[in-house]
Structure 1
Amino acid sequence: MRKAEIKLTIELDDANIPENITWESTEGENKEALPTKAMFLALWDHHYKNALRIDLWTKDMPLDEMKRFFYETLHTMGDSFLRAAGSDPLAEAVIGDLRDYCAHFAEKMEVVQAQK
């Protein structure tokens, strides 16, 4: 069996607010820790049937980038669900609704220009 590892390093200030976040992976081409300004980590607890989450961002994460990060995350969650659901027609219909919401979110948050 092959193993891969993802390592996250969080540097906190005296108030436990992230100053720096870096990540590295045994599978990546780049062997050094890479900086990031924000992260969402979600894990499924099959015993309690709920999501365990860690959402962190550095205090210097710009709001416009956070809006874009949320938009991109919502979009990719839809992609992941479609891959997981296979050819379930209900999943495809619901993801269409999610895509519509993503477009609405992007317009309201001014992540992308409204189409006329």
Structure 2
Amino acid sequence: MKKTQITIDIELDENHVPERMTWNAEDGGVEKQETKATMISVWDDETKEALRIDLWTKDMPVDQMKMFLHQILISMGNTYERATGEEDVAFWLEQMAEEFAQRAAIKM
């Protein structure tokens, strides 16, 4: 069985707030790629709940955070459709993402 790793390195300030983050993905050819935000979700099969880690650096611009969240909403719709085949629900998620973009005044 083959194994691979994806890692995130986080540099914290004296108050434990992320100042700098880099990520690595062996199989993807990514090494020490800087990022300003990450959202990681894993499924706990025993408790039947999603566990999350949401981190962003203190210099992450608010407008970019809005764009980041908008793109996550869009990708959730894509993932949902691939996982379930339910195009109608995926379309609804896409519409919700577009409404979010309008309400958040995201400039695209």
- Which residue number in structure 1 is paired with residue 59 of structure 2? 60
What is the SS of the residue equivalent to 2:60? coil
Q: Superposition RMSD on alpha carbons, in Å?
A: 1.2
Are 1:105 and 2:104 matched, yes or no? Answer: no
Structure 1 segments unaligned to the other structure (5+ residues): none
What is the SS of the residue equivalent to 2:58? coil
Query: 1:66 is matched by which residue type in structure 2?
Result: M
Q: Distance in 2 between matches of 1:29 and 1:39?
A: 18
Normalised by the length of structure 2, the TM-score is 0.94
Identity across the alignment (%): 42
What is the SS of the residue equivalent to 2:27? coil
What is the SS of the residue equivalent to 1:9? strand
What is the SS of the residue equivalent to 1:20? strand
Are 1:24 and 2:11 matched, yes or no? Answer: no
Q: Distance in 2 between matches of 1:82 and 1:92?
A: 6
- Which residue number in structure 2 is paired with residue 15 of structure 1? 15
- Which residue number in structure 1 is paired with residue 74 of structure 2? 75
What is the SS of the residue equivalent to 1:95? helix
Shift of 1:112: 3.9
Q: Distance in 1 between matches of 2:101 and 2:67?
A: 8
Query: 1:23 is matched by which residue type in structure 2?
Result: W
Which ranges of 4 or more aligned residues in structure 1 deviate by more than 6 Å?
none
Are 1:96 and 2:91 matched, yes or no? Answer: yes
Matches within 5 A, 1:30-45: 30=30, 32-45=31-44
Structure 2 segments unaligned to the other structure (5+ residues): none
User: Which of the pair has more CA radius of gyration?
Assistant: 1
Are 1:5 and 2:8 matched, yes or no? Answer: no
Q: Distance in 1 between matches of 2:20 and 2:107?
A: 28
